[in-house]
Amino acid sequence: MFPGGGQPNMQQLLQQAQKMQQDLARAQEELAATEVEGQAGGGLVKATVTGSGELRALVIDPKAVDPDDTETLADLVVAAVKAANDNAQQLQQAKLGPLAQGMPSMPGLGF
């Protein structure tokens, strides 16, 4: 039900939806332009990703390179990329979460 039992103002709902769409697009652009870092092995391996999850850089300290133990290096790379992606997800929640909370509830319409 809508407050007061009346019908929703469709023009107002449309304007709200358009504004939210613009805000979402702007937030997604900001995420794509923002970089976050993750690291592993005490900083021996560092991964940089965008807020939208695109891997931009991977830096490996020469001390982490042991030709006889490539498995450890691979594990460090995976851990650094995972840490960077976790940071990107936190950034996404911070940017996009408030937008989702602002969406109007529309009972009966599945929203």
- pLDDT, mean of each 10-residue run, the chain (111 residues): 65 87 88 93 96 93 94 96 94 82 53 45
Backbone angles phi, psi at 32, to 5 degrees: -65, -25
Distance CA(35)–CA(59), nearest Å, equals 14
Residue 109 confidence (pLDDT): 45
- Cβ pair 103, 111 in contact under 8 A: yes
